[in-house]
Amino acid sequence: MAKHKFDPYMRITEPMVRDNGELRVATWQEAISIAAKGLAATRDAFSPSAVGFFSCSKSTNEMNFIAQKFARAVIGTNNIDSCNR
């Protein structure tokens, strides 16, 4: 099973979205739009505190800064964590 985890032929090479329960290939613009709508719908239906973000210690400081800025300024949540400890 671990072999498939790193098999380059098993990687997803293009964005996919679920349409009527089935995955299909989508454009990047469509996939990002669907993800953004889902994130906004969760925030609007439950509250900004229903959304959380996790950042990776292998990311640059700039990427971690953008992640926390997006979480706080756009989504309105302080639910941000990372494995930087």
Distances (CA, A) of 21 to 3, 31, 34, 41: 28, 15, 15, 19
Can you give the pTM of this predicted structure?
Answer: 0.71
Q: Which of 17, 76, 66 has the alpha carbon at shortest distance from 43?
A: 76
Element (H, E) at 17: strand 16-19
> How far is 19 from 76, CA to CA, in rounded Å?
29
| Domain extent listing, the chain | 1-46, 48-85
**pLDDT tens-place values along the chain, 85 residues long:** 555 566 777 778 899 999 999 999 999 999 999 999 999 999 999 999 999 999 888 889 999 999 999 999 999 999 999 887 6
Residue pLDDT, tens place only, 64-85: 999 999 999 999 999 999 887 6
Residues counted in the chain: 85
Q: CA-to-CA distance for 71 and 77, rounded, in angstroms?
A: 6
